[in-house]
Amino acid sequence: MEIEINMPQLGESVTEGLVNRWLVKPGEKVVRDQPLCEVVTEKVNAEIPASHAGVVQDLAAGEGDIIPVGQRLCTLFTDESGEETGVEPDHSPGHKPEDSEPSVQQDRSQKLRYSPVVLRLADEHGLDLKAISGTGTGGRVTRKDVLAAAEMANEPASESSPAPPGALPLPDENQEQRVEHRTVDPIRRMIAERMVRSATTIPHAWTVMEADVTDLVAFRQKVKNRFFNQEGVRLTYFPFFVQAVIKGLQEYDQLNASWHQEHIHQHRDVHVSLAVATDKGLLVPVIHQANRLSLTGLVHAMDSIIKKARAGKLTPDDVSGGTFTVNNTGAFGSVVSMPIINPPQSGIVTMEAIVKRPVVIDDMIGIRSMVNLCFSFDHRIVDGAVAGQFLQSVCRHLQVMARESSF
Amino acid sequence: MAVKNYIEAITDALALEMRRDERVFVMGEDVGVRGGVFRATAGLLDEFGPQRVLDTPLAEAGIVGTAIGAALNGMLPVAEIQFVDFILPAVNQIISEAAKIRYRTAGDFHCPIVIRAPYGGGVHGALYHSQCLEALFTHVPGLKVVTPASPYDAKGLLLSAIRDPDPVLFFEHKRCYRLLKGDVPADDYTVPIGKVAVRREGSDITVFSYGLMLHFCQEAAEDLASEGISVHLVDLRTLLPLDRESILAAASRTGKALIVHEDNKTHGIGAEVAALISEEVFFDLDAPIMRLCGPDVPAMPYSSPMEKYYMLDQKKIADKMRELAAF
């Protein structure tokens, strides 16, 4: 029986994956669950396992090819009749695509099939067909797509070609050569698509509050060396902040929710998404059931997932299921920011830089360590009053955390 | 300008040409006293008398053979075959004689006959009153095959056919007879044989059709316009000789060609048009050339649901147009 191995859904809203390396050859015998190839997506790298024992028949994708989710990667020939194995195994347990994320699973099977007229027009206009997105069946580039691309390509050229009278001759280098065209890599495109979707579909409301973290600063100063010796991990402010957010979410659980058009999903557990800057771009790994972790547990969980993200080793599980996002913008010195919500979540909170400022307390001026918390929330899910109470609660927890924490 | 239906336009053309040229006469089964089973020759007997409106026996080979003989003796006969289904006994006369006379006499003789025949289904006519036989004749050099899709063209093309010096098969879709109405000038005008008509300008797909199907294509194209699909619709009008230049230009215009006909697909007109396009303008093509035709079964079924299944209609055509537009 022939079994098709298709590109699995490797995480929410991932629509395609890049075949990085084949680990098997056509004709090779494989055992069940043996890795067939490595796939790189915007978010995770994964090995695609054989769903059955059998012989690899052919590889439908070359190394470096980008294959849409659901499209065939290769075919296995097995001895089994297939009666009990007719169900395509789910390679990504635990993270079915959320229904609010209409996964843009476009069929691109015809993307590289070019009709005679398309090849001719591309040649005449000097166009790179791979750079043109197709509107035909299966993503095929149609004659009209090429004509539109040619028109686009011509416009700037025709504007700049007649030099104004008396203009200085341009330097030898063509103006166009002064602009470098970089192809948008999968991560960049993913970020772009999500940001546009969030910013254009979610009514963002925004608020800022400041918290006095003088006690926390003193507390951390006091315990950080001991903590490092005991735990082997550096103690930063960020885990305190994350825990304050979790406590706030537990008090105002309307915010631990996601928007799904007809329904609002209310989550019992807090799965915290952490915005992590990596040299490849922004990644957002998730700490699941963070509400069950102690501060020390949270420090370890955050440390390990951030290291994993920076090493490019996140698995599909690591990036899915988040219910709320926190972002440590203070790490690069920001004092106020307007974060964009990570859909379908209800909100995102940033911790800005902790700065010493003169503050009036009981009609006296003191020097205090202050931090701004910036909060963007989906106004469809909650209103300003609840959002404000939540943020106040986070500030309050942050202020008293030093007293409540012990190591 | 008078609004006439398709069959009135035919009668109009016959009467006009019989008045204009006394060599013109009509002959066929029931064309005289009865005025034709579809009434195409109604009133002609009264106006022109039994010498020029001849009721013939039920013998199609005789009708065409007599017409050929008359034509060789300087007359301009318009023979009617009551249904195209009955033309088959006359095929030997048409193919072996009429089509070859100019060639075999090195141009000393020619054969200016017109054979009119109603064709096509969708009228509950079953096996022997529904056939489309145009493809039998479009394979034969020496013939011209014409099929108008509007009252205006019916008159103009019939006048051209009668004035043509060579044999012309003039196929009239019988469903069009009273379905289609349009402006038909009372005076003398001709529509040239061998020229297509662009019925609708468009930019997404090019559709070629003729006869009743052209009419359905027109309706489907109107539906699709509201979906943003722009159809370039070409009425072939003459099936032999094909208007090669216009067909190629229309196909190149969009790069996506669809040929629609009621006749069955295999070895049909669509095959010839498709082959022509792919031979001549391959590098203008953006999609496989598509055909939507009647099924390859021996005959039109009698049962109404089966006839409906057999016949193309506006919806089937619109679906195919969408498929090509999306490609």
Q: Which of A306-310, B131-135, B279-283 has the lowest mean pLDDT?
A: A306-310
DSSP A214-259: HHHHHHHHHHHHHHHHHHSS---SHHHHHHHHHHHHHHSGGGSEEE
In chain A, where the domains are located: 2-77, 106-155, 204-404
Specify the pLDDT at position A89: 45
> Does CATH place domain A2-77 in 2.40.50.100?
yes
CB neighbour burial string for B248-283, b if at least 16 within 10 angstroms, e if fewer:
bbbbbbbbbbbbbbbbbbeebbbbbbbebbeeebee
List B129, B173, B215, B232, catalytic entry: B129
The pLDDT, as a whole number, for residue A248 is: 95
What pLDDT shows up at residue A173? Answer: 52
Q: Residue B215 catalytic? A: no
Of A176-180, B106-110, B253-257, which range is least confident? A176-180
Name the residue type at position A135: T
- Tens of pLDDT, residues B167-205: 999 999 999 999 999 999 999 999 999 999 999 999 999
Asked if B255's CB is within 8 angstroms of A143's CB, the reply is yes
B34 phi and psi angles, rounded to 5 deg? -75, -25
B12 touches chain A (CB under 8 A): no
Distances, alpha carbon A221 to alpha carbons A208, A328, A397, in Å: 26, 19, 18
pLDDT (mean) for A179-193: 78
Q: What is the ipTM of this complex?
A: 0.80
Average pLDDT, chain B: 96
Q: What single-letter DSSP state applies at residue B94?
A: I
Judging by beta carbons within 10 Å of its beta carbon (0-12, 13-18, 19+), is residue B238 exposed, middle or buried?
Answer: buried
Tell me which H or E stretch contains B91.
helix B91-91
Measured in residues, chain B has a length of: 327
End-to-end CA distance of chain B: 43
Which chain A residues contact residue B204 at CB under 8 A?
Answer: 144
Nearest chain B residue to A117, by CA? B284
Determine contact: B282 vs chain A, CB below 8 A. yes
Q: Do A117 and B285 touch (CB under 8 A)?
A: yes
B182 contacts: CB under 8 Å, gap ≥ 6: B3, B4, B150, B151, B152
Q: Average pLDDT, stretch A353-373?
A: 94
State what percent of residues in chain A have pLDDT above 70: 86
- Per the DSSP assignment, residues forming a β-bridge with B146 are B170, B238
pLDDT in tens, A9-34: 776 666 778 888 888 988 888 988 88
Q: Which of A204, A265, A300, A379 is the catalytic position?
A: A379
Taking residues A329-338, report their average pLDDT: 92
pLDDT above 90 for B293 = yes
The answer, for B228 touching chain A at a CB cutoff of 8 Å, is no
Nearby residues of B317 by Cβ (< 8 Å), 6 or more positions away: B213, B216, B217, B220, B260, B292
User: Among A54-68, A310-324, A387-401, B267-281, which range has the highest average pLDDT?
Assistant: B267-281
Chain B partners within 8 Å of A117 (Cβ): 255, 283-286
Fold designation for B2-184: Rossmann fold (3.40.50)
Asked whether the beta carbons of residue B287 and residue A115 sit closer than 8 angstroms, the reply is yes
- The closest of B247, B218, B232 to B318, measured between CA atoms, is B218
Judged against a pLDDT cut of 90, whether residue A320 lies above it is answered with: no
Residues 105-144 of B with CB under 8 A from A: none
The alpha carbon of residue A251 is apart from the nearest alpha carbon of chain B, in Å, by 51
Measure Cα distances from A307 to A45, A87, A313, A328, B127 in Å: 15, 36, 9, 15, 79
Burial class (CB in 10 A: 0-12, 13-18, 19+), A51: buried
- Quote the minimal CA–CA distance from B267 to chain A in Å: 25
Alpha-carbon distance B75 to nearest alpha carbon in chain A (angstroms) = 51
Return d(Cα B149, Cα B45) in angstroms, integer: 27
Compare CB distances from B283 to A117, A140, A142 and report the shortest one's residue: A117
Q: Are A97 and A69 in contact (CB under 8 A)?
A: no
| B214/B217 Cα distance (integer angstroms) | 5
DSSP H helices, A271-354, are 295-310
Per-residue confidence (pLDDT) for residue A101, from 0 to 100? 43
- Say whether pLDDT at B12 is over 90: yes
Lowest mean pLDDT segment, chosen from A223-227, B201-205, B232-236, B257-261: A223-227
For B168, the enclosing helix (H) or strand (E) is strand B168-173
Per-residue model confidence (pLDDT) at position A10: 77
pLDDT at B14 over 60: yes
CA atoms within 13 Å, Cβ hemisphere of A156: 5
Domain boundaries A204-404, corresponding CATH code:
3.30.559.10
Write down the catalytic residue from A52, A128, A383, A397. Answer: A383
CB-based contact B327 A143, cutoff 8 Å: no
pLDDT confidence of residue A81: 59
What was the pLDDT predicted at A13? 64
Ranking A53-57, B64-68, B113-117, B249-253 by mean pLDDT, the lowest is A53-57
Strand partners, A77: A2, A55
- Among A387, A293, A383, which Cα is nearest to A349's? A387
Minimum Cα–Cα distance from A114: chain B residue: B286
More confident residue, A137 or B237: B237
Taking only the tens place, the pLDDT of each residue in B233-247 is 999 999 999 999 999
Q: Mean of the pLDDT values across residues B287-299?
A: 96
Which strands make up the sheet holding A66-68, listed edge to edge? A45-49, A35-40, A16-22, A66-68
Return the beta strands (E) in A9-68 as ranges. Answer: 16-22, 29-30, 35-40, 45-49, 54-59, 66-68
Any chain A CB within 8 A of the CB of B322? no
CB-based contact B255 A137, cutoff 8 Å: no
Q: Does B287 sit within 8 Å of A120, measured CB to CB?
A: no
Residue B81 pLDDT greater than 80, yes or no: yes
* Interface contact B286-A137, CB threshold 8 A: no
A383 falls in which pLDDT band (50, 70, 90)?
Answer: very high
What is the pLDDT, as a whole number, of residue A155?
A: 67
Chain B touched by A124 (CB under 8 Å): no
Listed range (A82-86, A316-320, B105-109) with the worst mean pLDDT: A82-86
> Is A180 exposed, middle or buried, given 0-12, 13-18 or 19+ CB atoms closer than 10 A?
exposed
Which CATH architecture group holds B197-326?
3-Layer(aba) Sandwich (3.40)
Q: What is the mean pLDDT of residues B93-106?
A: 97
- Within this chain, domains B2-184 and B197-326 share the same CATH topology: yes
Task: Return the CATH fold of A106-155.
Answer: Dihydrolipoamide Transferase (4.10.320)
Instruction: With cut-offs at 50, 70 and 90, classify the pLDDT of residue B228.
Output: very high
A·B CB contacts under 8 A: 32
Pick the range with the lowest mean pLDDT from A121-130, A155-164, B34-43: A155-164
CA–CA distance from B216 to each of A136, B62, B183, B186, B243 (Å)? 26, 36, 19, 27, 22
pLDDT at A187: 73
pLDDT grade for B227, boundaries at 50, 70 and 90 = very high
Query: Does the N-terminal peptide bond of residue B165 adopt cis geometry, omega within 30 degrees of 0?
Result: no
Ranges of each domain in chain B? 2-184, 197-326
- For residue A92, name the pLDDT band (cuts at 50, 70, 90): very low
Cα separation, A190 vs A281, whole angstroms:
10
Q: What is the pTM of this model?
A: 0.55
pLDDT at position A65: 81
Cα B128 to Cα B301: distance, rounded to the nearest angstrom: 10
Through-space distance between the first and last CA atoms of chain A, rounded to whole angstroms: 60
pLDDT score for A174: 58
Predicted local confidence at residue A95, as pLDDT: 46
Q: Does A144 touch chain B (CB under 8 A)?
A: yes
For chain A, percent helix, then strand, then coil, each to nearest 5?
35, 25, 40
| DSSP per residue, A178-191 | GS--PPPPHHHHHH
Contact B284 A144 (CB under 8 A): no
pLDDT at A285: 93
More confident position, A397 or A109: A397
Task: Tell whether A120 is within 8 A of chain B (Cβ).
Answer: yes
CA distance A112 to chain B (A): 13
Q: What is the pLDDT of residues A229-266, one digit of tens each?
A: 999 999 999 999 999 999 999 999 999 999 888 889 99
Q: Do domains A2-77 and A204-404 have the same CATH topology?
A: no
pLDDT of residue A194 exceeding 80: yes
Contact yes or no for B285 and A144 at CB 8 A: no
Is residue A47 within 8 A of residue A23, CB to CB? The reply is yes
| Closest to B255 in 3D by CA, of A191, A184, A145, A167 | A145
A-proximal residues of B, 231-260, CB under 8 Å: 254-256
Look up residue A347 and give its two tokens. Answer: 């909100």
Lowest mean pLDDT among A83-92, B57-66, B177-186, B195-204: A83-92
For residue A80, give the DSSP letter.
S
Q: Please report the pLDDT score of residue A91 as a whole number.
A: 47
User: pLDDT-derived band of residue A96, with 50, 70 and 90 as boundaries?
Assistant: very low
Residues B83 and B226: their CA atoms lie apart, in Å, by 38
Residue B206 in contact with partner chain A when CB distance is under 8 A: no
Cβ–Cβ contacts within 10 Å for residue A404, how many? 11
